[in-house]
């Protein structure tokens, strides 16, 4: 397992619309042009633009091949996916094919479900997903300290997520 490899978070529209984008600040993250197009106004748009400017969020175009693949699966599974949703999953497939550790972040049940079918890791934004995950910390496997980093700043060991109650 390449568990030390930094994860790339692929953010869908719900992350921006529900105001969760700041949770990913300075984590390698990506979204698609189609999602960017969907976020047209207000605070979500300002936050999206700020994230793009600061460089930790990339906007990119998924390959036509992956888009086709997801569109085909959508047909088979009858999932209701918008073009933007579809592009997010396609981008995740592209990154995964390049050997990256990818996590799709979405509050959309249909997106999550399709990720499950394809075998792509996903994280729910609310409803006990991200809120739970990000309200807590990570625990160092080495020294046991609670930290926010993936690698412990005190002893350099790997850290693991600690759920909610902290
Ligand atoms: Zn440590």
pTM of the model: 0.74
- What is the whole-number distance in angstroms between the Cα of residue 165 and the centre of ligand 1? 20
- What is the whole-number distance in angstroms between the Cα of residue 159 and the centre of ligand 1? 8
Each residue of 48-99: pLDDT tens digit? 999 999 999 999 999 999 999 999 888 777 778 889 999 999 999 999 999 9
Axis-axis angle for helices 83-97, 109-118 (nearest 10): 30
- What is the whole-number distance in angstroms between the Cα of residue 149 and the centre of ligand 1? 10
Paired tokens of 163? 């759920």
- What is the whole-number distance in angstroms between the Cα of residue 148 and the centre of ligand 1? 11
pLDDT at 60: 96
């Amino acid at each position: 397992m390449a568990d030390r490899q930094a994860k790339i978070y692929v953010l869908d529209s719900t992350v921006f619309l529900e105001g969760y984008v700041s949770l990913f600040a300075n984590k390698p993250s990506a979204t698609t042009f189609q999602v960017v197009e969907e976020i047209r106004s207000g605070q979500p748009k300002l936050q999206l633009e700020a994230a793009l400017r600061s460089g930790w969020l990339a906007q990119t175009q998924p390959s036509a091949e992956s888009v086709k693949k997801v569109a085909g699966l959508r047909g088979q599974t009858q999932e209701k996916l918008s073009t933007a949703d579809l592009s997010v999953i396609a981008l995740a497939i592209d990154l995964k094919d390049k050997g990256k550790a990818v996590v799709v972040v979405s509050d959309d049940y249909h997106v999550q479900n399709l990720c499950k079918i394809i075998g792509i890791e996903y994280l729910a934004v609310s409803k006990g997903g991200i809120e739970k995950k990000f309200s807590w910390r990570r625990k160092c496997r080495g020294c046991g300290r609670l930290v926010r980093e993936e690698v412990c700043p005190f002893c350099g060991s790997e850290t693991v997520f600690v759920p909610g109650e902290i």
